[in-house]
Amino acid sequence: MDGIEYIFRPKSVAMIGASPRKGTIGREILHNVIINEFNGKVFPVNPKYGVIHSIKCYSTILDVPDAVDLAIIAIPRDGVPDVAEKCGQKGVRGIVVISAGFKEVGGRGIELEDRLIEICRRYRMRMIGPNCFGVVNTDPDISLNCTFGKTGALPGRVGFISQSGALGEAIMNHAHQLGLGFSMVASIGNKADISANNILDFWKDDPRTEVILLYLENFGNPRNFTKIAREITRTKPIVAVKAGRTSQGAKAASSHTGALAELDVGVDALFDQCGVMRVSSVEELFDVASALANQPIPRGKRVAIVSNAGGPALLATDALVGMGMEVAPYTGETKRQLKRALSGQGTVNNPLDLVAGAGGKKFKAALKVVKEDKNYDSIMTIFVPPVTIDQLEVASSILEGVKDTDKMVLACFMGTEEGSDAVNFLKQNRIPVYQFPEAIAKTLYLIDSYRQWLERPLGKFRSFSVNRAAAQKILEGALETSEGAIIGEKALDVLAAYGIPVTKNEIVSSEKDAVSAAERIGFPVVLKVNTPVILHKTEIGGVKVDLRTPREVKTAFASLKKKITASKRGTARGREKFSVFVQEMVSGGIETVIGMTTDPSFGPLLMFGLGGIYVEILKDVSFGINPLNDNDADEMIKNLKSYPLLTGFRGTEPVDMPTLKESLLRLSQLVSDFDVISEVDINPFIACPKKGDSKAVDARFIVKKL
Amino acid sequence: MDGIEYIFRPKSVAMIGASPRKGTIGREILHNVIINEFNGKVFPVNPKYGVIHSIKCYSTILDVPDAVDLAIIAIPRDGVPDVAEKCGQKGVRGIVVISAGFKEVGGRGIELEDRLIEICRRYRMRMIGPNCFGVVNTDPDISLNCTFGKTGALPGRVGFISQSGALGEAIMNHAHQLGLGFSMVASIGNKADISANNILDFWKDDPRTEVILLYLENFGNPRNFTKIAREITRTKPIVAVKAGRTSQGAKAASSHTGALAELDVGVDALFDQCGVMRVSSVEELFDVASALANQPIPRGKRVAIVSNAGGPALLATDALVGMGMEVAPYTGETKRQLKRALSGQGTVNNPLDLVAGAGGKKFKAALKVVKEDKNYDSIMTIFVPPVTIDQLEVASSILEGVKDTDKMVLACFMGTEEGSDAVNFLKQNRIPVYQFPEAIAKTLYLIDSYRQWLERPLGKFRSFSVNRAAAQKILEGALETSEGAIIGEKALDVLAAYGIPVTKNEIVSSEKDAVSAAERIGFPVVLKVNTPVILHKTEIGGVKVDLRTPREVKTAFASLKKKITASKRGTARGREKFSVFVQEMVSGGIETVIGMTTDPSFGPLLMFGLGGIYVEILKDVSFGINPLNDNDADEMIKNLKSYPLLTGFRGTEPVDMPTLKESLLRLSQLVSDFDVISEVDINPFIACPKKGDSKAVDARFIVKKL
């Protein structure tokens, strides 16, 4: 048993800062430990009192006669380190520090938190907090609730990790209203020692925890998270809400890729690659959790709707179809059986409208038919209670109607308050009940994305044989210049060293050399001004394309030289000689952009998108966290809205997808090999139909000393 | 006073089908009329009883001694027409038919409903229903609630029209939980006589109705709705939920425009053009209504957030920024004052995090500063109640803090149940309270779209002088062929007749004529096979572009002829001679698509989008309901995601917007003038920078006999 296990499964608990005064945190926690009937010994510790709640109270933890597994600390922050020291001396295995005023307030708080960490390390004590709401374990063998919330936790299958202390009580309260039960709850606060990753790892093999909910405000170690989450989500769904999509604000980005990564695409990419369902609110977190904790995961997108009101059923259909789910009509045997079961029913559609007067009998009859139809993966029932119908009877009929089905069944009772008999009845029988049909639609959609993730093959990380030394030489060379940028030929050379196909190209500084270079490369060619200053070459007319003869090459060279000399922009760099980039012309393909930017917490993010307008205006790009496996690369390409352009559109041939995918994976290997690369734009990478034709035409690297 | 007014403001009411038996609709309605203390006379009518609820009961309405303004009918459907007939004889002015089983069930129900309508017409009685939930008027002079719901309506400023009877009670119940008050409620059921339009018209000048909510399942007369709604929304906001986005299913569409109009773009366009806020659920309907009924409309997008919890504030910011709202940092004097007011507060950001321990005092101090800052238009407060804080004190401090501000103030109390003292206190003081910050974000966003609509100049309908006769001749000609399609030259001629610029073009059937046509038109030209069968000309290679010399024209002509003769596709039509379309080549512009399709309920829908991939894959198009005014055309163009392409992108010149806009308006005039036009595709209309260069290059009309 390591420290974390002692925190969640202690045999004895000391409550340091225990108090008999109502409204104090020390009283609330002790009270919760006692009324939840903790299955072990509790020792209140507070020098001011001799007895609290009829239990003997000790002056310090050192006075406690028995061994103590877990100490809860809820005293003013300045005293916390001394108390923690005593816990260490006592041999306590884990502490939960409720007290706030540490790193989150800055200044002296940081010092105190550092001292706490040092004490824990010294005594090999594990710590949750500081600045947290406490922990809960509803396992009847333990039955520990050392939070200060007014609402208890119902026992259940959901593990919940919250980074916010403030939200702790609000969330427990909301879960209680919904009737959602927890296996364990951990408020991790400042994560000075134990992080969400540690707890995920601990819950991986906990048989009582079947679904995991996360409320996160930032990531400590995303790489660790990836490793653990990818493993867990294969067997236990993780649903997460992550605040702060826009908190970083726009950063000054020098690359396209960087500018496009403004929002927290890193989190989206991370969750996507790990199969974590991301929701955007606490409300959705619980909507999804209720479904996952009580019902099987549907095998597909096909939803059957049975309702006693047409309007809400249509709203549900709208919401489902709008998110890509399917609400296909009832057909064949099901249709015939429904007509028989619902004598007098005019039309039999999906959604099935039983009309307002429908009581439990009709719901039951319809559901018995629908649950047998293999064309549906989940069932949504909607009931809008007319005054004349007994709601509890409808609820119990719904339950009977769907008995033993392996489809996911979610119920909507519109206009019925939480806690009504009918709603409670269904919940107690593991059918989640929602107030609005749209919430069910969103829930089914999110769970379906998880199902799709489960069905993806396990990705493989590929390793290509590359010329690492060649790339290293160019990257190190760039680090020595003040610029830190690698452009033009050198940038393409780095890509070529990693096996990413690039155009043939030469740098020349005379007309004559330009022509002979063009002849070596093969016509048609492109001429580009070769200077680091002019980044958007096309805008100033520094690019001449489709040059088909030596004569055209000569004319183009002269024109470029004249233009640049006149504008002085090229010569402003002083000693640099005017030179031109002669390049093979790639045509007949689709312009794509492959890029990489560095996220402060996630490290390298790879990007893929179509070129030009798609990136600039429509921002149709996708991101992946490095390193990419082959599945990740696949998903990045397929996630584009403009993806159909790549697979052949209106008679055009599909592009060579393996080369595109491999180029992404090779770039991933490149940025993994060299931490100094902070940004990459391969723009354009022209994707062509024929193998061997796709090529990077222009590229740019930013390197930074670490 | 017309019939509608008698329904909502009766002096005497007959309750036909009144009953003393609990659980019956006749009992519930009578009960509601009485317990809501209707300010007039009530006459129960039922041959079975002599007295109900201590009130004398009459056998038939004809026995009632007094005049009766309004009769509520809640008896089995087969008896309804006879009873209605008696109401007519009695001189009743309006009836509300609660009974169901009419048109909505088909068969005999349709007959009965038709009879009802005939009776109402004959006696000039107005009717609400059948198949409805009843009506409510909370005006203390009237105080009428003749619904059968268990929950009463609180008096308030919101008028509510529901097309769904089944949803009636659910909605009343939900409103009651939220503390939202109504001026009037009308459940219009089958709309056999009185429609939503009639009631909107009636509420237009009702001083007690300040906000109007609609729950709709279909539109009776969209044109009337447009007229009334455009007028009302200038002074009273309308919020609507319309079910059935996807109910029509995909229809077989023969035009691009038709295929793209699959979803209910008509409703979106209608609401947009009328300034109606469309929400997608009943939940959102009430979220928005609570804000509008109690708070001023914000002057802009800028939101200040004051919270005692960082996480929910970030989630709110994410939601707001994601929808295009602004959460700009506090600056200058506000920042200084906040720092002073909140001594000990480390950082002062927007969202402002007062931290968990913050009580009412801090909220009040912060809000007093924020409410004075002219850089914000609305304020969101978020409170996550820690166990140690008195919630009611926080609520009253929030109220004091925002006193007399003209900003919209919306409060979030997370994890607090509806009906808690604190929540009730704020609601009673006209500060709406939400359980989740995302709901506030969505509400502010929807209301901001309404503000923007209010700020748009009033659109003007323009009338162009056109050659109507020329267009008519071609359209009538097409009606006589079995095809009903107009393509090629003739289609462009129709456009030209309405002043939409088109390319110069000629049809020729010999090489020689092709060359001379090209010389008249001016090189370069385009040659296209001229046959109605080959719709996607480019795919079969039936188009030759950029022909610069007579020689190129000749070669192209020969090649087209060979190809078509070989494929037999051109000759399959029998006697048709091979001919070619010689056309002016338009270059240097952006391909757009202008189109029109006919919606079964909305009539002509105009469409605008960028060409090619934008339409085909990204479906970046916008729709407007005919007729368009100049504002509508403006909005249609600006609503495209790819709009920046038209205004000049990366050094390209902006296109000639007035011509583009005018072409849309001229097409609107064309389809208004000719009902026979059922679909139009102008694809492409090339929009060029220089005035006079933009032109329709290809077009296609479908005409249908009416």
Instruction: Report the residue from B171, B312, B649 with minimal CB separation from A167.
Output: B312
> pLDDT value at position B571?
47
List of chain B residues whose C-beta atoms are within 8 Å of the C-beta of residue A321 = 245-246
More confident residue, A232 or B415: A232
| Three-state SS at A207 | coil
> pLDDT value at position B387?
67
Q: Radius of gyration (Cα) for chain A, nearest Å?
A: 32
Pick from A401, A398, A421, A428: which is nearest to A411 by CA?
A398
Per-residue pLDDT averaged across A122-145, rounded?
94
Pick from A677, A673, A607, A664: which is nearest to A630 by CA?
A664
Contact A24 B388 (CB under 8 A): yes
Contact B245 A318 (CB under 8 A): yes
ipTM for this prediction: 0.83
List of chain A residues whose C-beta atoms are within 8 Å of the C-beta of residue B23 = 387-388
Same domain flag for A167 and A315: no
Q: Report the C-alpha gap between B292 and B378 in whole angstroms.
A: 13
Per residue in A690-701, is it b (16+ CB within 10 Å) or e — as a string?
eeebbbbbbbbb
**C-beta atoms surrounding A629 within 10 Å:** 18
Q: Does B81 score more than 80 pLDDT? A: yes
Q: Report the C-alpha gap between A584 and A545 in whole angstroms.
A: 10
With cut-offs at 50, 70 and 90, classify the pLDDT of residue A251. Answer: very low
CB B84 within 8 A of CB B120: yes
Characterize the bridge pairing of strands B433-434 and B485-487: unpaired
More confident residue, A363 or B419: A363
Pick from B379, B376, B369, B377: which is nearest to B348 by CA?
B369
- With CA atoms as reference, the chain A residue closest to B652 would be A539
Question: From the candidates A325, A327, A387, which should be mutated to test the interface with B, based on the most B CB atoms within 10 A?
Answer: A387
B569 falls within a domain: no
More confident residue, A372 or A255: A372
Final residue of a domain: which of B395, B429, B455? Answer: B455
Contact A241 B315 (CB under 8 A): yes
> pLDDT value at position B570?
46
B593 CA to chain A: closest CA distance, Å? 17
A181 falls within a domain: yes
B280 CA to chain A: closest CA distance, Å? 7
Instruction: Report the residue from B308, B318, B644 with minimal CB separation from A166.
Output: B308
Residue appearing with tokens 């909370």:
B138
Q: Report the C-alpha gap between B668 and B315 in whole angstroms.
A: 44
Same domain flag for B426 and B305: yes
Same domain flag for A187 and A307: no
A139 falls within a domain: yes
- With CA atoms as reference, the chain B residue closest to A26 would be B388
Contact A616 B649 (CB under 8 A): yes
Instruction: Report the residue from A28, A105, A243 with minimal CB separation from B346.
Output: A105
- Cβ partners under 8 Å of residue B22, min gap 6: none
Name the average pLDDT for chain B: 88
| Three-state SS at A693 | coil
B327 CA to chain A: closest CA distance, Å? 10
> How many domains would you assign to chain A?
2
> pLDDT value at position B245?
64
- With CA atoms as reference, the chain B residue closest to A21 would be B388
Q: How far is CA B150 from CA A702, B156, B168, B182, in A?
A: 68, 19, 11, 16
CB A580 within 8 A of CB A555: no
CB B212 within 8 A of CB B200: yes
Pick from A177, A178, A196: which is nearest to A186 by CA?
A196
Q: Which residues lie across from B44 on neighbouring strands?
A: B15
Tokens for B375, please give them.
Answer: 């850089």
Residue-wise pLDDT for B93-129, tens only, equals 999 999 988 987 788 999 999 999 999 999 999 999 9
Characterize the bridge pairing of strands A590-599 and A603-610: antiparallel
Any idea which of A163-177, A435-449, A524-538, B141-155 has the lowest mean pLDDT? A524-538
Full-model pTM: 0.87
Instruction: Report the residue from A247, A384, A388 with minimal CB separation from B314.
Output: A247
Side-chain half-sphere exposure of B201, counting CA atoms within 13 A: 13
Q: Does A41 score more than 60 pLDDT? A: yes
List of chain B residues whose C-beta atoms are within 8 Å of the C-beta of residue A172 = 415
Residue-wise pLDDT for A555-614, tens only, equals 999 988 887 776 655 444 444 578 888 999 988 889 999 999 988 778 889 999 988 767
Per-residue pLDDT averaged across A25-39, rounded?
92
With cut-offs at 50, 70 and 90, classify the pLDDT of residue B588. Answer: confident
From start to end of A362-429, where are the E strands? 378-383, 408-413
With cut-offs at 50, 70 and 90, classify the pLDDT of residue A276. Answer: very high
Encode B371-428 in three state secondary structure: CCCCCCCEEEEEECCCCCCCHHHHHHHHHHHCCCCCCEEEEEECCCCCCCHHHHHHHH
B476 CA to chain A: closest CA distance, Å? 34
- With CA atoms as reference, the chain B residue closest to A319 would be B280
B399 falls within a domain: yes
Percent of chain B with pLDDT over 90: 60
List of chain A residues whose C-beta atoms are within 8 Å of the C-beta of residue B618 = 618, 620, 641-642
More confident residue, B481 or B626: B626
Contact A169 B384 (CB under 8 A): yes
Same domain flag for B306 and B159: no
CB A135 within 8 A of CB A185: yes
Final residue of a domain: which of B144, B179, B209? Answer: B209
With cut-offs at 50, 70 and 90, classify the pLDDT of residue B256. Answer: low
Say which CATH number the domain at A112 has.
3.40.50.720
A630 falls within a domain: no
Residue type for A668, please? S
CB A14 within 8 A of CB A40: no
A65 CA to chain B: closest CA distance, Å? 32
Same domain flag for A89 and A197: yes
Residue appearing with tokens 């036009």:
B677
Tokens for A578, please give them.
Answer: 């005017």
A425 falls within a domain: yes
List of chain A residues whose C-beta atoms are within 8 Å of the C-beta of residue B217 = 310-311, 314
Residue type for B19, please? S
Residue type for B482, please? S
**C-beta atoms surrounding B564 within 10 Å:** 21
Contact B169 A386 (CB under 8 A): yes
CB A464 within 8 A of CB A497: no
Say which CATH number the domain at B381 has.
3.40.50.261
B366 by Cβ neighbours in 10 Å (0-12 / 13-18 / 19+) ranks as buried
Residue-wise pLDDT for B208-244, tens only, equals 999 999 998 877 778 888 889 989 999 999 999 987 7
A204 falls within a domain: yes
Question: From the candidates A384, A423, A536, which should be mutated to test the interface with B, based on the most B CB atoms within 10 A?
Answer: A384
With cut-offs at 50, 70 and 90, classify the pLDDT of residue B467. Answer: very high
Residue A12: its H or E element = strand A12-16
What is the span of the domain harbouring residue A31?
Answer: 3-209
Same domain flag for B322 and B198: no
CB B255 within 8 A of CB B595: yes
Q: Report the C-alpha gap between A308 and A357 in whole angstroms.
A: 7
Contact A356 B245 (CB under 8 A): no
A595 falls within a domain: no
Instruction: Report the residue from A163, A280, A415 with minimal CB separation from B319.
Output: A280
List of chain A residues whose C-beta atoms are within 8 Å of the C-beta of residue B650 = 536, 538-539, 616
Final residue of a domain: which of A158, A182, A209? Answer: A209
Q: Report the C-alpha gap between B448 and B670 in whole angstroms.
A: 34
